[in-house]
Amino acid sequence: MPPKRGLTPSGLVLVDKPAGPSSFAIVRDLRDRTGARAGHAGTLDPFATGLLLVLLGAFTKQAQQFVGLTKEYETAVDLSAKTTTGDPEGEIVEEHEPPSEEQLHERIAALRGEVDLQIPAASAVKIGGERAYKLMRRGVDVDMPLRRTTVHELEVLDYDGRIARLRTHLSSGGYVRSLAAALGGHCVSLRRTAVGPFKIDDADSERVIPPEEALAEL
């Protein structure tokens, strides 16, 4: 008996997402190209790049196995201004003098470990039953809740007095844009380098990792 349409190929695809398209557009492209049902295990903002996990075919039923994985990022943060979205697509709402290198390291130290960070207004979190980003687009002023986030790692790679390049390792559900806002700035670039045991260096949108191999990594 032939396999049910849409259930094959089945497995995991590691995609290096470029800046611009949405995560759903990447998923849709893989779905159209393979003929299999498809779903992602954690979105990336359109401006962001890096590792996107896409589950194909019958393997989409295993999506819950990938929920809760920690994530690693490299980001450049402009510490001279905050924006409405926490990224370059928003409007500037506050401008100020960037911190000194010593001040930056003090702020960084205070954000390691378990911290409560405000969820960005431009997020898919539901407020009163509606997505926060939809409320923001309509101009609704929303008091966004805090989310407890574990910052396993937060390291300064470079700082020129305005733009700080950072590497961070966050618990599931953590927002790098929230970290940037807590530091007094906004992300100008964001790249996800790892999701749990899966690394950006292994990304290959043409390869479907067999289910047993993908699950063994977990």
- Catalytic residues, by residue number, are 45
Euclidean distance between CA atoms 52 and 213, whole angstroms: 17
Asked whether the beta carbons of 16 and 50 are under 8 A apart, the reply is yes
Structure tokens, 137: 């687009």
Asked whether the beta carbons of 38 and 54 are under 8 A apart, the reply is yes
Q: How many CA atoms lie within 13 A of 45 on its CB side?
A: 23
Contacts of 1 by beta carbon, 8 Å cutoff, 6+ apart: none
Euclidean distance between CA atoms 50 and 53, whole angstroms: 10
